[in-house]
Amino acid sequence: MTKGILKEFKEFAIKGNMMDIAVGVIIGAAFNNVIDVLVKKVMLPPLSLLTNGINFQNKKIVLRDAILEADKIIKPEVAIEYGELITVLINFLIMAWVVFLVVKLANKLRNNSQDPKNKKVSTPKDIELLNDLKEIMREQNELLREKK
């Protein structure tokens, strides 16, 4: 049983899956830092300026005030603290928007590099080969249609 698991793990590690996962985690962490800076340093300051510095963090609906006796809390305040939820939702929407824009840009760059007709960007060899095969198959299909 143990040898089977070790053999399976060895195959997993050798096939590169573990390396792919490690690279993905490292790139993901770096990407997270980029998005974090974009949101906090680029997107939030103008938004803060537009909202005139409104801080939702402390917004709440007090259901029952705290009962104090000589600076000692006898019964704590009962409140629905919705402000933090609003702040987190706004941050989420901004982050989602920034991630969308970054992924859209990356997809555009990737699509340009994979277009064999685009001479401005060098196309990867595998894409060139696939395009060549597609062209050969198209030509062969035309020849077969002409024979009929």
Model pLDDT for residues 42-73, shown as the tens digit of each residue: 877 887 788 787 777 788 899 998 888 888 88
CA nearest 99: which of 34, 42, 144?
Answer: 34
Low-confidence ranges of the chain (pLDDT < 50): none
pLDDT at 7: 83
Task: Count the domains in the chain.
Answer: 1
Residue 145 lies in a domain: no
pLDDT at 123: 66
Residue 75 lies in a domain: no
pLDDT at 1: 63
pLDDT at 107: 84
Domain enclosing residue 8, as ranges? 1-52
Residue 32 lies in a domain: yes
Residue 4 lies in a domain: yes
Residue 74 lies in a domain: no
